[in-house]
Structure formats: structure tokens, C-alpha cells
Structure 1
Amino acid sequence: MSIAKRLASQTAIYGVSSIVGRVLSYLLVPIYTAHFAAAEYGIVTGLYAYVSFLNVVFTYGLETTFFRFANRPGTDRRELYNQTLSLLLLSSLGLTVLLALLARPLLGLLHVPPGHQEYAVWMALILGLDAVAALPFARLRLENKARKFAAVRLANILLYIGLNLFFVVLCPAAERAAPGTVLAALQPFVKAVYNPTLGVGYVFLSNLVASAFTLLLLARELFDFRFRWPGRQFLGPVLAYALPLMLMGLAGMVNETLDRILLPAWLPAGFYPGLSALAAVGIYGACYKLSIFMSLVIQAFRYAAEPFFFSQSTEKNSPATFALVLKWFTLCCSFIFVGISLNLNWIGPLFLRRPEYLTGLAVVPILLLANLFLGVYYNLSVWFKLTDKTYYGTYIGAAGAVLTIILNFVLIPVLGYLGSAWATLACYFLMAGMCWWLGERHFPVPYPVGRLLAWLAAAAGLVLAAHFALPPLAGWLRYAPGLGLTLAYAGAVLALEGGPRLLRRAA
């Protein structure tokens, strides 16, 4: 099997859990936006923003570290797994307890009304369970057990979706059901398990149950290890490699999620008439979900690409391989950017069920392009991981984080959540540019930078021109312009970049 075909196959399998599974979970977005007001959904958005930060702290780069050390000659992979998982178990226990104790002040930072301290406690437990599961998942990836990885991930998502549908949709409907109907027959059971005052708390409770169930599915990988107290000889090199990755991850989370934390603090009172700051966070968070279609592709790609890049590092033609991967990754992502941006007039209302959420759709193309550059950065970052210079990732991430904070501080009071979207795009563009510039000096790869930037400029120009030039249409005609221009862009890419020839070679 060719290198490109093998990577594509692995990406497709991982995509079952990360893309298909997440797409299924995105079906919850119209449910949330139909059942929760923007201020309520703002609680979900804000808490999960904190979770993104804390997830990096809980795992502190040990997944990538495990890959790197496992691929070193002479490494005892079983002993490495034992010690790394032991370290993760100890740290997760301590951090979970600490976070649960800080539940009240954490909710205060989000301006969450008092009386829901259990939300933060549940999130602490979710973080601990997910951190423990991270290394068994990494082991499955290392052993190329992509199918089990995908099956466990998908089971987690399906359970999470099912519990959300039960508590958010079925239980309230059963409570309101007229006597004699099918749903009315469920009322005794619903009264025993459902508390309507919990509201959005059922989103977090569903996540907690799904995370616990995931550990049960990973029982073989969890019980197939022996606890080893991490000694100094082990901790020194592991933490030296991992901690810069953690700092890089924290900086990345600043760039990805800090805007949803800063919005309620820096948005001027009355900026959006009739909306509270928490409601603005809810609208921005709901619209952000539409941009995450891009990051789903990136996530699936990363699951397959990280072990792939490490395994290819000793090959003579690895730079050419890395350049080819970046080229087609970028072109595929540019197609996603064009496709979603040009069809927001009908995609938006499908996912955002209340008119108040649709007011934020202008941020979606900006965030799509931002996530595209984030994916480019992940591709380019292979150089400092293969050369063991992970501290460069920390510098790049820190530069992006500083820019994110400055631009949010300047733009939120002027542009609201639109300013946060522009700050995200500027940050990821800077990070990708810095990573490419430094990589050229330490690990040269013949990336077709100029050609790819030209395609991205063409994609952005097409979206911008369509926004101002296309007239609003009604009925089925509203689908035609966006879909037609998307197919035209895809056709141009394939024709000019040798797409048919590549497909024939892969087959």
C-alpha cells in the first residue's frame, strides 16, 4: 500500500469517531438552540471553554511524549506504558480533587447564577476520567488498532447523544404530554429520574456518564498494565519533552477558547441591545460550532498523521512526503471553507433554531479560515517534534496567545464577538507563518507555500465576492449559487493540481 493511501486509510478510520461521530453530536446543536435560551447555552459554552484549557493540564503532553519515546530504538514499550499511565493516574487524581474544591469560584468567573456548583464538580470528574483514558487511546493508535479506537470513541459519542436526547427532549416532552398518549405512559419513570430545574446541567451529566462508560470499554488496556512509581530517571527526560508540549497546548487553548472566557468580562454593557453578556457568549459559541466542521477534519487527520510522521522520520524522501501531505490537506480544507461559507444561508438555520443565534453567522467564514490555518500549523509543526525541539512550539504558541489577548482586548469593545473571530484568524495565521519560517532553518521541507497561499486567497476572494454580489433567492433556488460555486472551485483545484492523476496513482 502506498504511503499516501495508507495515511488516507488511517485518517478515514479515525474519522469514523472524530468526524462522523462529531457530526452526529452536532445534531444536538439545533436541539440545544431550540430548547435553551442563549444565556443558558452560554453556560455550556463557557464551561467547556475552561475544560479545553484544563484538559491540556490534565494530560500535559504525555500522549505525544509516549509516541516519541516508544519509537526510540531499544525502548521497552510495555514498561514505558506502565510508568506513563501510572504518572497520569496520580496526577489526574490530584487535579480532579483540587478542581472539585474550586467549583464555586470557577462558576463565579463565568457569571453563572449561584446554586449550580455541581456543574463544575461534574466537569472535574469528566476531566479526570478523560485524562486517564488518553494513554490507552494513544496505545491503540501506536499499535495501529484504529478500528477499536474508532469503535470506542463512537460508542462514547452515541451514548452522550442518547442521554442528551433523553434528558433534553424526551423527558420535558413526557412531562407535558396529554393523558392517554404514549409519552404520558412514561411520566412515572420520568418523574423518578428527571429534575427539570437542572436544565443545561444534563449536558454535563450526560458527558460524565459517557466518559465513565469509555473507561469500561478500555478495560483491557487499563488492566493490562502494572503500576510503577515514576522514578527520577524516568521523570526527567519524559517531563523535559512533555512540559513544553503542555505549555504549547495551553497557548493553543488561549488562542482557541479564551475569547469565550473574555467576552463576558470585556464586552461593554448594552453592546448587543436586549442581550446579556452570557447570551452573547451563547450566540458566539453556537456559531462557532459551524466552523468546527473544519477542525473535525483536522482532528481526524492528526490522529493518523502524528504516528505516521514519526514513523516516516527516518525515510530518505520524508520531506517530499510531508510537502505532499500539506498540499492536499490545505486544498481539501479550502474546499470545506468555500463550501460552508457559500451555503450559510441554508446551513445556518438548520443548526441554529432560534433567530437570536442567526445574528452571529458573520463570524463563521472567519473562524473557518482560522481553523484552516490551525490545521496548516499542525502539519508544519512536525519539524520541531522530530528534532526534539518542542520548546519552539511553546514560543510559537506563546506568541499567538499574546496576540490573541491583545486583539481581544482591543476588538471586543469595538466589534463584540466579531472581534474575537478576527483575533482568532490573526493568531493562527501568525502561528503558521512563524512555524514555516523557523522550520525552513531547522528542518527544510519543500512546501509549495506560494501556490497554496494563492489558492487560499482565491477561496477567500470567492467567498467575499459571493457575499456582496449574489442576490438573495427564495425556494430551492437559494441552494444553487453556493453549491454551484463550491463545485466550480473544487473542479478548478483538481484540474490545475493534477487531482485525477493523484487518484489514479492512489488506486
Structure 2
Amino acid sequence: MSGFKSLFKQTFIYGLATVLPRMLGFILVPLYTNPNVLSVEEYGRVSFIFAYFVLFNVVLAYGMETAFFRFFNKEESQETVTSTSAISLILSSFALMGIAFLFRHQISALINIELKYLNLVFVILLLDALVIIPFSWLRATAKPMTYAIIKIINVAVNLGLSIFFLLYLKDLADSSSVFNSIYKPDFEISYIFISNLIASGLTLLLLLPFYSKIKLKFDTVLWKRMMRYAMPVLIAGIAFSINETFDRILLEKLLPDDIADQQIGMYSACYKLALFMTLFATAFRLGIEPYFFSHSKAENPQKNYAKILEYFVAFGSVILLTVVIFADLIKPYIIQSEAYYEAMWIVPFILLANFCLGIYHNLSVWYKITDRTKFGAYISIVGAIVTLLLNYMLIPIIGFKGSAIATLSAYGIMMMLSFYFGRLYYPIPYNFKKIGLYFGLSILCSMMYFYVFRGNYFIGITMLIVFLGLVILLEKNQLKQVLKS
């Protein structure tokens, strides 16, 4: 059980690194949805541009982060792995961004993002790509506190500048010539990306000591092996980005021009209520990914992997039901305008979709440990195809509701495919009765409450108490062992 205690400690700290910045980032949603700051259409435009951020980030990383973790724990010379992967990303990032700037006018016309925003996006992407390996190295060498502090500084700076630019700069410009020189009217969207750019630049500055420590040694043979491992991860990443954000892009393409940005704005704002599940799943993944690799050679690691999924589903089920029951109480604190509330219908679907995605990440241990990363690519491609097909079919009929249904369908199918192939190539003795009970009962209660008894908190809270009691009853022995170890 000591391994689990170490895992939970790392997961907690990585969770801190993820949850606190995201919770700070949560402040941006009420800021952006404040009608005095951005209109629904403007917030939709920001969300649309950030959708492309995800896709471009995946391309610039091209699976090297995952390859780094695999080879860092596998190769004798960890220094060589670190320097080779860092040099690879430095060269590729500058090369790709150089090409992007040369063809920026064509790219702007192709993806329908104004050039003034696209130029800022390119610089941010370059800065973010240069910190991928330094952050990965911090995780691989068990330095979660440093990782957490830098992540928190990044988001705190981003938030502070966003609040300054969007709320205070205009008033300060009226009373001071200094601030008047940097204030521009109708420049709100640009200020959002400028805040992001400064935060990313500061993050790179804080991580520069990493580059001074590594030896500039590039192993061509090792790099080729890492790239063979990384390419399926890249394909999977592109497919994941389609599943994660392409719904905004397709809403912009498939809806009439006069309502597209508004629909994207409402959808994106209500999508944020699923953040609680996303935070939990991301923190858990950051904690378990190094654990999966470092314990792969231990005696009977499958037993521990099975227990980890059981814990994830238990906690995730509680989060799903809790957020669904209290979503209407939470929303006014996050979404500042009732103009967005029309999209609340999507909340249970997006929460459940992210829950399925978290389960998928836990199940994916089998293809990472056995070096069958191509299966991750295959499964993700299937998910991307489902996302594209259902969005194309449903958006013209039911708008953003179709996107929510497509997201849940894609992640649900990916989860089931990973489970199926995992049983064939790397059997893990999961406790299906307990996992199925938690998963199925939380879904049933969530859907019944939100679409039948919504607003009846007596029924909702009773459901939650009963479910919590069940989880505690079934897991009390395991929890005692973890706490005592």
C-alpha cells in the first residue's frame, strides 16, 4: 500500500498544480461572460480561437512528451533522453513557427482567424512548446512542488493581466497619460491573448535553468526510436484535439453566420461547468502516468492498476452526481449573464463525457506499457470519426446539443474499445461488479435528477447521501489500509 500512498501524494500535488490554476482560471469565465466586458458573440470568438490552440499545441508537441516518459524510465542514460528530446522540440518548434509566419496570411484565410489574433497565437504556441520537456522532466524526476509553483505563477500572471486589461485599464487611461498610451478601445480579445503571451514568456524564463543544466547531446539513433514511439501518440493527439475542441470549429462552420458565435459562446460557457470532472481526471492522470511506467516491471503490477481504476471510478462517480445536482446553484457564480443559460442542457452530457475520458486514460495503461501506442492512435481516430460524423449530422438539426451528444458518444466508444483490446493484450483483473455499480448508478441518478427532478434538492441531496454512503461502505477497508500505510 506504500506505493498507493506515494501515488496519492503525487496526485494531490499535481492536482494542486492543476486544480488551483484552473480554479484561478475559473475567474476568467465570470470575467469573460460579464456583459460589460465581452458580448456572448465575442466570448464565442475567443472560444473558437482557443479551439485551434489545442490542435496546434498537439502538432508542436508531436507525442514527444509521452516518448520522453517512456524512454526516461527505459534507457540507461536519462541525460541523453532528456537532451535529445529537448533539442528535437527546440528545432522543430522554431522551424514550424517560422513556416507558419511565412504563410500567416493564407492560414488566417483558411481557418477564419483574424491576422491580428493569429500573430499572437503563433508566439504563444512557440513559448508553450519550449517548456514541454522542462515540465516533463520535473514530473519524471519527482519534483511536483516546483512543477506546481511554476504552473500557478503562469496562471496567476495570466489572470492578473486579464483582469487589469479588461476591468481597470480603461478607467486608468482616462486619468493617466501613461496608461492612456497602452489602452486601445475595442481591443478586449487582443488583451486576452497578450495576457496569455506574457504569462507564457515568464514561464519559459522560470524554466530556463533547465536548459543550462542539460548537456547539448543529440542521439540520432535514440531520436529515431523515440519518434517511432511518438508518431502514433501524435496521431492520437490530433484525434483527441478533434474530440476535445473541434465541436466549436464545426459549430462555426455549420451554423448560420448570424448565430454561430453566439451558440459557441453559450456552449463554451456551460461547458466550463464540467471543469470539476476535468480537473479531477487531469490531476489523476498526471499522477498515475509516471507511476504506470515506473511500476511496469514490478511483481504483478496489474493488481495495482486494477485498484487504481476502481478508486478513480468511485471518486469520479461522486463528482459527477454532486456537480449535476448543484449545477444550477453553481452557475451564477461562474457564468455572469443569463444569456448563456440556454446551453445548461449539455452539462450532464459533458460531465459524463469527461468521466469516460478519464476512465479511458486509466485503461490506456495497457498499450503504453506494452509499447503498442498505435492502438491509442487507432482508438482515437475512431473517436474523432464519431465526433465529426455526429457533429455534421446533429449540429444543423439541434445545434450545440448535437455537439454534446457527439462528445459523449466519442469518449464512451473510446473507453469501450480500450477496455476490449486491453483484455486481449494486457489483461488486468478489474473489479467489474464494483466499477459497474458506481458508474451505472451515478449515471442513472444524475440523468434522473437533471432531466426529471431538476430543482428538487430534497431528492437530489438524498440521492447523493445514499450514493456516498454506498461508496464509503464498500471502500472503507481499502481506505483504512491506504491511510495506515
Q: TM-score band, normalised by the shorter chain?
A: over 0.9
Distance 2:15 2:69 in 1: 20
Query: What whole-Å deviation, never above 9, does each CA across 1:328-347 have from its counterpart, x for those lacking one?
Result: 11111111111111111111
Moved more, 246-255 or 193-202: 193-202
Match of 1:444 in 2: 427
Shift of 1:486: 2.8
Distance 2:449 2:151 in 1: 38
The number of residues matched between the two structures is 482
Cα 1:471–1:15 change in 2 (3 A) is closer
1:192 aligns with 2:174: no
TM-score normalised by length of structure 1: 0.91
Letter in 2 for 1:417: F
Distance 1:467 1:300 in 2: 27
Query: What whole-Å deviation, never above 9, does each CA across 1:32-90 have from its counterpart, x for those lacking one?
Result: 000211111112111111110111110111111111111125x2111221111111100
Distance 1:44 1:499 in 2: 45
Letter in 2 for 1:490: L
Shift of 1:110: 5.4
**SS of match in other structure, 1:446:** coil
Shift of 1:375: 0.5
Match of 2:2 in 1: 2
Distance 1:433 1:141 in 2: 29
Contact 1:259 1:408 in 2 (8 A): yes
**SS of match in other structure, 2:344:** coil
Match of 1:506 in 2: 483
Distance 2:218 2:429 in 1: 44
Cα 1:98–1:471 change in 2 (3 A) is closer
Match of 2:93 in 1: 92
Letter in 2 for 1:90: L
Match of 1:261 in 2: 249
Which of 163, 166, 169 in structure 1 is aligned with 2:167? 169
The residue correspondences of 1:254-403 to structure 2 (distance < 5 A) are 254-268=242-256, 276-403=259-386
Distance 1:92 1:221 in 2: 17
Letter in 1 for 2:233: L
Which of 136, 139, 160 in structure 1 is aligned with 2:134? 136
Shift of 1:104: 3.8
Distance 2:443 2:268 in 1: 23
Shift of 1:504: 4.7
Contact 1:370 1:428 in 2 (8 A): yes
1:23 aligns with 2:12: no
Match of 1:44 in 2: 46
Shift of 1:500: 5.5
Letter in 1 for 2:328: N
1:431 aligns with 2:432: no
Moved more, 281-290 or 418-427: 281-290
1:81 aligns with 2:58: no
1:486 aligns with 2:464: yes
Cα 1:505–1:69 change in 2 (3 A) is closer
Contact 2:85 2:223 in 1 (8 A): no
Shift of 1:503: 3.4
TM-score normalised by length of structure 2: 0.95
Distance 2:254 2:163 in 1: 34
Cα 1:469–1:278 change in 2 (3 A) is closer
Shift of 1:363: 0.7
**SS of match in other structure, 1:388:** coil
Match of 1:222 in 2: 211
Match of 1:181 in 2: none
Shift of 1:149: 0.6
Which of 183, 198, 202 in structure 2 is aligned with 1:209? 198
Gaps of 5+ in 2: none
Shift of 1:461: 1.6
**SS of match in other structure, 1:276:** helix
Distance 2:427 2:105 in 1: 50
Distance 2:111 2:187 in 1: 18
Match of 1:150 in 2: 148
**SS of match in other structure, 1:360:** helix
Query: What whole-Å deviation, never above 9, does each CA across 1:123-143 have from its counterpart, x for those lacking one?
Result: 111111111100011111111
Distance 2:28 2:461 in 1: 25
**SS of match in other structure, 2:214:** coil
Query: What whole-Å deviation, never above 9, does each CA across 1:98-122 have from its counterpart, x for those lacking one?
Result: 233444444445555xxx4121111
Letter in 1 for 2:91: L
Contact 1:2 1:506 in 2 (8 A): no
Shift of 1:305: 0.9
Contact 1:244 1:393 in 2 (8 A): yes
Distance 2:64 2:384 in 1: 22
Distance 2:105 2:480 in 1: 55
Shift of 1:317: 2.5
Distance 2:362 2:468 in 1: 22
Contact 2:84 2:223 in 1 (8 A): no
Contact 1:25 1:161 in 2 (8 A): yes
The residue correspondences of 1:245-256 to structure 2 (distance < 5 A) are 245-256=233-244
Cα 1:200–1:3 change in 2 (3 A) is same
Distance 1:400 1:366 in 2: 16
Contact 1:349 1:358 in 2 (8 A): no
Contact 1:396 1:434 in 2 (8 A): yes
Shift of 1:499: 2.9
Shift of 1:23: 0.8
Distance 1:493 1:408 in 2: 36
Cα 1:155–1:62 change in 2 (3 A) is same
Moved more, 28-37 or 447-456: 447-456
Letter in 2 for 1:32: Y
Letter in 2 for 1:261: I
Which of 218, 232, 246 in structure 2 is aligned with 1:244? 232
Shift of 1:188: 2.9
Distance 1:504 1:377 in 2: 27
Cα 1:354–1:501 change in 2 (3 A) is same
1:405 aligns with 2:393: no
Distance 1:23 1:119 in 2: 26
Cα 1:171–1:506 change in 2 (3 A) is same
Contact 2:273 2:327 in 1 (8 A): no
